[in-house]
Chain A
Amino acid sequence: EEQLLESGGGLVQPGGSLRLSCVASGFSFSSYSMSWVRQAPGKGLEWVLGISGSGDSTYYPDSVKGRLTISRDNSKNTLFLQINSLRAEDTAVYFCAKGGWYNHFDLWGQGILVTVSS
């Protein structure tokens, strides 16, 4: 069974940093682009980052360049999201999703909550 499991969320102070992890199982992880999608409380879904299967290419909208970084370790079937200089507006549930480049998101993790507050 294909599965994605996020971890690493929690309460963080403004200005701090956080790294989220997403462990994949049940499929050939390195063969697929992966993405992070977030959802602020009471708001809609927002695609924030993508990475190619090899990890050689990353994709960002201008709104997150510089503070959010996506990476992967294919030897450990793990996707990462590094968030620096955390702001209140980064408070959201972060979903790991299988898909990216032009492929749709066909598998989702359960989501992990990040709360930025002093």
Chain B
Amino acid sequence: QTVVTQEPSFSVSPGGTVTLTCGLSSGSVSTNSYPSWYQQTPGLAPRTLISNTNTRSSGVPDRFAGSILGNKAALTITGAQADDESDYYCVLYMGSGIFVFGGGTQLTVL
């Protein structure tokens, strides 16, 4: 069974830069996985940040950027702000209509 891996937690200082990654338990992530990223505050619905590797959703500041780094998808937050403190999830398309979410990264800004 394919597992999508994310760092369980990460910490960044206000104004700092952080890169969260999204990998596969076996194999590499490519653009063919159509990686997308979501931000979620506990108790609320997810907010779509990035689709198709690097396309920002409407209203998402350009501090958020998606990419492929090596064999993983990546979400880079530049100039982190206090309200970026959230859970971040990636999801990968496995083909045949099947998606798998990563376990999520809890980002702390302090």
Q: Which residues of A contact B (CB under 8 A)?
A: 33, 35, 37, 44-47, 50, 57-59, 61, 95, 100-111
Contacts and interface: CB of A to CB of B under 8 A. Distances in A.
Contact of B97 (A100, A106, A110): A100
Contacts of A102: 34, 93
Given A44-B102, A104-B36, A59 B97 contact: yes
A45 B87 CA distance: 10
Interface of B: 34, 36, 38, 40, 44-48, 51-52, 57, 87, 89, 91, 93, 96-104
The A interface, classified by DSSP as helix, strand, loop or mixed, is strand
Best-buried of A35, A59, A108 by chain B (most CB within 10 Å): A108
A102 B38 CA distance: 16
A104 B52 contact: yes
